[in-house]
Structure 1
Amino acid sequence: MAQRNVLQYIILGLLDQRPLTGYELTKAFDSDIGEFWSAQHSQIYPQLRKLEEAALIKHEDEISGEKLTRKRYDVMPAGQVMLNDWLASDATEAAPGKDEFPLKLYFIRTAQDRRLGPMLGTQQRLHEQKLIHLRHQMATKFPEGVGKSDFGHYLVLDYAVRRETAYCAWLTDAIARVEA
């Protein structure tokens, strides 16, 4: 199955917050967005061209200094529709560092957003199932605790159980905050 181009949605989401230059978009991946998704300069600029060719974003030239002209991009209505459709779709499970769910949360502006409850509920069910599976793996593979010859495997599985336990607790708290 082909991986979907999530970078286009990230760019649309960032531009939906405010118009940005390509450089400012690149810097966003060094800060907040970089916590859960990475992209290089060499990926961002070609994606900007594609989005503009598809009439999802537009740019205005602005003068900086005496000679420097830079493009400031803004999302167009068709881009906002595409972003909203992506935000409303189920987040797919992805490789570590490429999780769409926190990325989508980043672009939700208010606790009253109707998409938020279903998003959190879906993730809670997925992570609770994953936690059940991991606990079963732990009980099956290490019924008497860690052995001498498989310590690393035990630690990795223990980490996964703890990670999912914390994630489920966080989701429960997030759902309670939305409902409050």
Structure 2
Amino acid sequence: MAQKNKLKYIILGLLGEHDLTGYDIAKAFTADIGEFWNANHSQIYPLLKRLETAGLITHQLQLSGEKLEKKVYSLTAAGQAQLSDWLHEPTTELTASKDEFVLKLYFVQNADDPMLQPMLTEQLRLHQAKLAHLQKQMTRKFSAVASKTDNYGHFLILQHAIEREQGYSDWLAQTLAQKTLRAAAARNHL
């Protein structure tokens, strides 16, 4: 089955919420969308051009300051229709995550490998920091009960990300604790 350009649908979805500049779209990938999807400028700007050529989006030039013009993109009716079609399609496959740590971990052959402890410790620190960031985002964006229903999909994604990071952190902490217990038991048998 052919891969869909999901970035196309992300851009259409963002423009379905608000008219945005290319810069605003790129910023979304360092904020909310960056929690679950990555894209960079070299992907975004050429795709904006293709989407406009296809009639899915359009732009207006907006003057910023005295001379600087910026393109403000908006969704066309055709773009809205494609976004709606995509949103209504079932998602029938799971996508493998690309986790470099897990990939490296796959190749660790021995529980006593000296690189295992620093790898696990570093990942625990990173995932705990990510968890704290997500919890702060949840408090900032969805502290009121009413706001949880205003953008319910975003709320659910943030809730899922918090649970994912909590689970990942717990697994890393348990693995480190087991490794420490094994090391202590091995020292006692000497």
TM-score by length of structure 1 reads 0.53
* Alignment partners' CA distance in 2, 1:14 and 1:82: 13
User: Residue 63 of structure 1: SS of its match in structure 2?
Assistant: strand
* Alignment partners' CA distance in 2, 1:109 and 1:39: 26
The answer to whether 1:86 aligns with 2:86 is yes
User: Residue 84 of structure 1: SS of its match in structure 2?
Assistant: helix
Count of equivalent residues: 106
- Mapping for residues 101-116 of structure 1, pairs under 5 Å: none
The answer to whether 1:43 aligns with 2:43 is yes
* Alignment partners' CA distance in 2, 1:95 and 1:4: 15
Partner of 1:29 in structure 2? 29
Q: Which runs of 5+ in 2 are unaligned?
A: 99-148, 153-178, 183-190
* Alignment partners' CA distance in 1, 2:95 and 2:3: 9
- 1:94 Cα shift? 1.4
* Alignment partners' CA distance in 2, 1:87 and 1:55: 19
- 1:65 Cα shift? 1.2
* Alignment partners' CA distance in 2, 1:75 and 1:109: 21
Letter of the 1:94 partner, please give it.
Answer: T
Letter of the 1:2 partner, please give it.
Answer: A
* Alignment partners' CA distance in 2, 1:110 and 1:32: 12
Letter of the 2:73 partner, please give it.
Answer: Y
Letter of the 1:80 partner, please give it.
Answer: Q
TM-score by length of structure 2 reads 0.51
Hey, which bits of structure 1, 4+ residues long, moved more than 4 A?
108-111
Taking only the aligned residue pairs, the percentage that are identical comes to 53
CA RMSD of aligned residues (A): 2.7
User: Residue 60 of structure 1: SS of its match in structure 2?
Assistant: strand
Q: Which runs of 5+ in 1 are unaligned?
A: 98-107, 112-147, 152-180
- 1:2 Cα shift? 3.0
Select the structure that is richer in helix. 2
Task: Quickly say closer, same or farther: Cα 1:68–1:10, change in 2 above 3 A.
Answer: same
User: Residue 72 of structure 2: SS of its match in structure 1?
Assistant: strand
Determine which structure has greater relative contact order: mean sequence separation of CA pairs < 8 Å that are 6+ residues apart, divided by chain length. Answer: 1
User: Residue 27 of structure 2: SS of its match in structure 1?
Assistant: helix
* Alignment partners' CA distance in 2, 1:27 and 1:15: 13
